[in-house]
Amino acid sequence: MSELALLLDKAQRTASPISRSTNPGPTRSAYDVQHELVARRVQRGERPVGIKLGFTSAAKMKQMGVSEVIIGQLTDAMHIDAATRLSLSTLIHPRVEPEIAFRVSEDFDRADDAAKIKIDAFAPALEIIDSRYADFKFSLFDVIADNTSAAAFVVGEWILVDASTPDFIADQVVTLELDGVEVEKGTTAAILGHPMNAIGAAEKVARAYEFPVRRGDILLAGAATPAVPLRNGVASASISNIGRVSVEGMS
Ligand code: OOG
Ligand code: MG
């Protein structure tokens, strides 16, 4: 077990940040740390429920100073339903961001170069990120090791995919509100040009770094706007044509 995986695991469980790693290595070893970190959670009884992409929009890359698409893992313990309040005291410095969720309809065979990740539904979503590094500052290596800051997520109403979906979800207005006040605004086109491009990006990274993607999994496409701090109150994402979803933070 790597030292960094242990430190990150403890930081998450005790809600106390650690310093950035001083000895980063290649991206592959950052994913090895992430796999160990998630394996510890699974050993404690958590169930993997999907994957999330990070830095798929220029807005996020600029905010965090990282410009490579990354992938993290979601477990059932991170899933909160919209009616549940999120206890902020279990987190270090949570931020919230608007997302689109896709639902995977078939197991993805990553050994097959021609295989595609198939989806059968999409939904508005919110992701709560919580870097385990002090001041939310990290390198590419650090953030991959830290399971891409994944902390919690909420998914709204699913809409079934049909032939009109690619046009329907292209270039839709995305807004992020805190207690009803708009704090960020963007477009779904900010996600790699078109949110469906997130699926191809996920295929690439899942193949390169051995991520299983299974039927029923959730795939978060990456935020279209910068993330904002989540405090007491209600955060909502609204995406035209797609819907609205909220979460309430409570200290
Ligand atoms: C890393 C996670 C990035 C996204 O949607 O781009 C991410 C971070 O910003 O801490 O989830
Ligand atoms: Mg995100």
The larger pLDDT score, comparing residue 211 to residue 1, is at: 211
How far apart are the CA of 224 and the centre of ligand 2, in A?
9
**Which residues, judged by CB distance below 6 Å to any ligand atom, belong to the binding site of ligand 1?**
52, 54-55, 60, 64, 97, 127, 129, 131, 143, 148-149, 222-223
The larger pLDDT score, comparing residue 226 to residue 22, is at: 226
The angle formed by the CA atoms of residues 165, 167 and 171, to the nearest 5 degrees, is 115
Closest residue CA from atom 10 of ligand 1: 149
- Considering the entire predicted model, what is its pTM? 0.97
- The ligand whose atoms approach the alpha carbon of 64 most closely is 1
Residue 1 pLDDT exceeds 70: no
Mean pLDDT score, 20-38? 90
Mean pLDDT score, 41-68? 93
- The ligand whose atoms approach the alpha carbon of 125 most closely is 2
Query: Where is 104: in which H helix or E strand?
Result: strand 95-104
Give the confidence band of 84 by pLDDT, cuts at 50, 70, 90.
Answer: confident
How far apart are the CA of 73 and the centre of ligand 2, in A?
11
Mean pLDDT score, 26-42? 96
What pLDDT was estimated at residue 118? Answer: 98
Contacts with 35 (C-beta within 8 Å, 6 or more apart), sequence order: 210
3-state secondary structure 126-195: EEEECCCEHHHCCCHHHHHHCHHHEEEEEECCCEECCCCHHHHHCCCEEEEEECCEEEEEEEHHHCCCCC
Residue 82 pLDDT exceeds 90: no
- Read off the pLDDT of residues 138-165 as tens digits, 9 standing for 90 and up: 999 999 999 999 999 999 999 999 999 9
Which of 41, 129, 106, 32 has its CA nearest to residue 138?
A: 129
Average pLDDT, the chain: 95
Q: What percent of the chain has pLDDT over 90?
A: 90
Residue 125 pLDDT exceeds 90: yes
Length of the chain: 251
Give the pairing of strands 70-75 and 48-54: antiparallel
Give the confidence band of 66 by pLDDT, cuts at 50, 70, 90.
Answer: confident
How far apart are the CA of 127 and the centre of ligand 2, in A?
5
- Read off the pLDDT of residues 173-221 as tens digits, 9 standing for 90 and up: 999 999 999 999 999 999 999 999 999 999 999 999 989 999 999 999 9
What pLDDT was estimated at residue 22? Answer: 73
What pLDDT was estimated at residue 83? Answer: 76
Residue 65 pLDDT exceeds 90: no
Closest residue CA from atom 11 of ligand 1: 54
What type of residue sits at position 233? G
Give the confidence band of 42 by pLDDT, cuts at 50, 70, 90.
Answer: very high
- Burial-class residue 48 by CB neighbours within 10 Å (0-12, 13-18, 19+): middle
Which of 68, 67, 76, 65 has its CA nearest to residue 38?
A: 76
At residue 199, the 3 state secondary structure works out as: helix
Mean pLDDT score, 1-8? 90
What pLDDT was estimated at residue 133? Answer: 97
Mean pLDDT score, 94-123? 97
At residue 15, the 3 state secondary structure works out as: coil
Contacts with 158 (C-beta within 8 Å, 6 or more apart), sequence order: 103, 121, 122, 123
How far apart are the CA of 99 and the centre of ligand 2, in A?
7
Task: Quote the tokens at residue 247.
Answer: 């979460």
